[in-house]
Amino acid sequence: MKRIFSLLAIVLIFSASLFAQTEPVKQSKKFERLLNYIDAMYVDTANIAKITEVAIVKMLQELDPHSAYISAEDVAKSKEQLDGSFDGIGVQFRLIQDTIVIQDVISGGPSEKVGLKSGDRIVKVDDEVVAGIKIDNAGVAKRLRGKKGTKVTVGILRQGEKDLIYFDIIRDKIPIHSVDAFYTVGDVGYVKLNKFARTTEAEMDSAFRYFTQKKVKNIILDLSDNTGGYLDQAVTLCSRFIEPNKSIVYTKGEKMPRYDYNSKEMDPELVNRTGKLVVIIDENSASASEITSGAIQDWDRGVIVGRRSFGKGLVQREMTLTDGSIVRLTIARYYTPSGRCIQKPYSSYEEYNKDLLNRYNHGEYYHKDSIKFNDSLKYNTLKYKRTVYGGGGIMPDDFVPLDTTLRSDYHLALQRKNIFFPTISEYIDKHKDELKKKYGNVDNFANSFEVPEDFMKTMLAKAKDAKINVDSLPKATPAQESYLKNHIKSSMASDIWGSSAFWVIFNQQDPTVKRAFEIIGDEKLYNSLLKKK
């Protein structure tokens, strides 16, 4: 009798499994029949491929906000940012007065090899005039990017040259950097990471070797506006600060068993596991940024500064469809070492997309007390047993409100009317060599250069020419005037020494970065934040 019951149980389990397996097949046949009806009988010509793509997108929206479809033609573009490279000529540019102006030439890239310089204006690409045609960023990329090994000829207008100069450039792999900047202030190393890409580990290796050379004791890790990326890169980054074989994050889903990711052994030159650590986050810090800041907070390894992070804690796996398109399907959730779920609620797709706006409207960006936590989602850190909360995002240990008063109305108008950067570029075109010779490096420039009053007058004249009614704008406060000049100075440094130089100067007036330096420089304050209950 026992055998009969066992056999019956096996049959029932097999039947249930067969039903579960065939349900998607039944629904796909239903969808296929509908497409055939549309193709055979619809009153007008129907684009079956487009209808299918729309249906897939809508289907995924019924699941969660982060399951996504990427068409075959967009797959390569979607991988560029995280894979850390694309095929092109190797320049960073701005569009100024309908002209492509080279802002920076990427070191070691094909443009540097043929002699292009920052400040050069690209007037022709092959036989096409590209100045004065209302070209946009996509139009520039379309003309300058191309398969590795192919040739493109650019006609350059360079200051001091009467005629166009032509360069034949062979396209190559161009790196996309995930580290915006790293530098030192005394015994503190600062590093800003914009994403977790395939190149992040190598780039961070360079930063840490530099920190070791400079005998850095303490580190500020800036993850503000970092929207995430590859999980393994987040684990490696955490391993620089947390001793080996400690939990960094684990994943778990209804159909996926728990999987743990632990910190790993690393070259002693590439780690800092004993010095003070401050991590900056904000509302745009997501996914891998939250894994990193969550692990550091849970292990009481460092102080988290800024504003509550985004709350993206869903794990996606890429699956390729028959035409080369990709579905990134959510298969699990991320959990910090203490067991906190990083993901915020997403019962309403519309409300989820409005979450950051709702935070802004509720005052969360300005007042810590506006953030309410559910006591049922209370957790303790692993070393000092501090209270932390789950339910969406990482709450910093030290809250820094968003300061929207630093930019004056005049400052905003200069940017909106596209006067700010063109005026700076024109000035650097004329004075780059003398400034580089006079100051030698960005540190000397940061310490000694003052934005000339003649430059400010030129910018004001351009603002009036652009019909900005300057006299009707509220008078800028001294703090706003200082912030504007600091922004100008930062941008000038970027045009002379590259984009990393921008942050060296700009951060001097960034409230969150300033607070991070204050905390890391004050042993008593640092410890009080790290150990408070």
Give residue 81's pLDDT band: very low, low, confident or very high (50, 70, 90). Answer: low
Give residue 107's pLDDT band: very low, low, confident or very high (50, 70, 90). Answer: low
Residue 532 structure tokens: 């408070």
What residue ranges in 275-401 does DSSP mark as E strands?
A: 277-281, 303-306, 314-320, 326-335, 378-380, 387-389, 398-399
pLDDT value for 92: 74
Q: How far apart are CA 291 and CA 249, in angstroms?
A: 7
Contacts of 216 (CB under 8 A, 6+ apart): 184, 187, 188, 189, 272, 275
* Least reliable range by pLDDT among 3-7, 252-256, 321-325, 478-482: 3-7
Q: How far apart are CA 327 and CA 336, in angstroms?
A: 26
Q: How far apart are CA 495 and CA 87, in angstroms?
A: 24
| pLDDT, average across residues 265-293 | 96
In the three-class reduction of DSSP (H, G, I as helix; E, B as strand; rest coil), residue 389 is classed as strand
End-to-end Cα separation, the chain, in angstroms: 61
Question: Which H or E run includes 30?
Answer: helix 2-41
Top-confidence residue, 158 or 286: 286
- What is the phi/psi pair of residue 349, to 5°? -60, -40
pLDDT over 90 percentage in the chain? 47
Find, among 229, 242, 243, the residue nearest to 201 by Cα: 229
Q: Same topology for domains 85-175 and 179-316+328-402, yes or no?
A: no
Q: How far apart are CA 394 and CA 309, in angstroms?
A: 5
Give residue 5's pLDDT band: very low, low, confident or very high (50, 70, 90). Answer: very low
Residue 20 reports pLDDT greater than 70? no
Q: Express the helix, strand and coil content of the chain in percent, nearest 5 each.
A: 45, 20, 35
- What is the phi/psi pair of residue 163, to 5°? -110, 165
pLDDT value for 14: 47
Residue 11 reports pLDDT greater than 80? no
pLDDT value for 483: 96
* Chain CA centroid to CA 344, Å: 20
| pLDDT, average across residues 85-97 | 74
Find, among 205, 225, 207, 203, the residue nearest to 216 by Cα: 207
H helix intervals, 42-98:
48-61, 75-83
In the three-class reduction of DSSP (H, G, I as helix; E, B as strand; rest coil), residue 169 is classed as strand
Give residue 121's pLDDT band: very low, low, confident or very high (50, 70, 90). Answer: confident
Average pLDDT score over the chain: 87
How far, in Å, are 82, 291, 344 from residue 376 at the CA level?
A: 36, 21, 15
| pLDDT, average across residues 509-517 | 97
pLDDT value for 528: 96
Break the chain into its structural domains and give their ranges.
30-62, 85-175, 179-316+328-402, 409-515
pLDDT digits (tens, 9 = 90+) for 331-351: 999 999 999 998 988 887 777
pLDDT value for 99: 81
* Least reliable range by pLDDT among 113-117, 120-124, 153-157: 113-117
Q: How far apart are CA 503 and CA 496, in angstroms?
A: 13
pLDDT value for 12: 47
Pair 93, 122: CB distance under 8 Å: yes
Find, among 527, 500, 514, 529, the residue nearest to 182 by Cα: 500
Residue 202 reports pLDDT greater than 70? yes
pLDDT value for 346: 85
Residue 98 structure tokens: 């309908």
* Least reliable range by pLDDT among 6-10, 219-223, 253-257: 6-10
pLDDT value for 8: 46
Q: How far apart are CA 288 and CA 334, in angstroms?
A: 10
Residue 511 reports pLDDT greater than 50? yes
pLDDT value for 79: 65
Q: Residue 454 class from Cβ within 10 Å (0-12 exposed, 13-18 middle, 19+ buried)?
A: exposed
pLDDT value for 464: 92
Residue 125 reports pLDDT greater than 80? yes
pLDDT value for 207: 96
Residue 240 reports pLDDT greater than 90? yes
pLDDT digits (tens, 9 = 90+) for 289-314: 999 999 999 999 999 999 999 999 99
Q: How far apart are CA 465 and CA 370, in angstroms?
A: 44
Give residue 1's pLDDT band: very low, low, confident or very high (50, 70, 90). Answer: very low
Give the architecture-level CATH label for domain 179-316+328-402.
Alpha-Beta Complex (3.90)
Pair 46, 38: CB distance under 8 Å: yes
Give residue 83's pLDDT band: very low, low, confident or very high (50, 70, 90). Answer: low
H helix intervals, 151-230:
200-213
Residue 158: left if φ>0, alpha if ψ -120 to 50, beta else—which one? beta
Q: Domain 85-175: what homologous superfamily?
A: PDZ domain (2.30.42.10)
| pLDDT, average across residues 71-93 | 71
